[in-house]
Amino acid sequence: MGKALLYAALAEMGDIELAVALEQELREQFEDRGYVVLGSFLGSEIVEGVKAEIDKLVEYHAKLLLNQGRISDGFEDEPFETRMARLYEDHLDRAPDGMRRCHDKRQADGARNRADIFLVA
């Protein structure tokens, strides 16, 4: 059972103390990492569908940058989770707003110089 589902179940059963501790753990993970992994939160069919749509969007950006001559490699062999970041790693000024905000926050926090996308079933 994923932590989010466990949290909801604990809260519903009245174990508020344990639910609050779990909520605090999730909040700390988000503050430390900038994301929280909620296992089993979405079904695998939904995750695969979202991945397929995001993959289309990433492919569009790869073709756009290649056609503009901004990159010479579309990173087709790059894993799904990191391909978009690789496309824009040397052209952050042209990256979608969400990637720039993520990058700016990570820079401010002293984190690594890449935006990552994680979708896990």
Q: Mind listing the pLDDT tens digit for each residue in 56-94?
A: 999 999 999 999 999 999 999 998 888 988 998 888 888
The owner of tokens 């900038």 is 34
Work out the percent of the chain whose per-residue pLDDT is above 90: 23
**Would the pTM count as exceeding 0.75?**
no
> With 60 as the cut, is the pLDDT of residue 109 above it?
no
Asked if residues 109 and 101 have their Cβ atoms less than 8 Å apart, the reply is: no
CA distance 82 to 88: 10
Tokens 């909040």 correspond to: 27
Distance CA 4, CA 13 (A): 14
Indicate the domain borders of the chain: 1-41, 42-121
Q: Is the predicted pLDDT of residue 15 greater than 90, yes or no?
A: no
pLDDT at 113: 39
pLDDT score for 61: 92
Tell me which residue of 112, 101, 66 sits closest to 87, measured CA to CA.
66
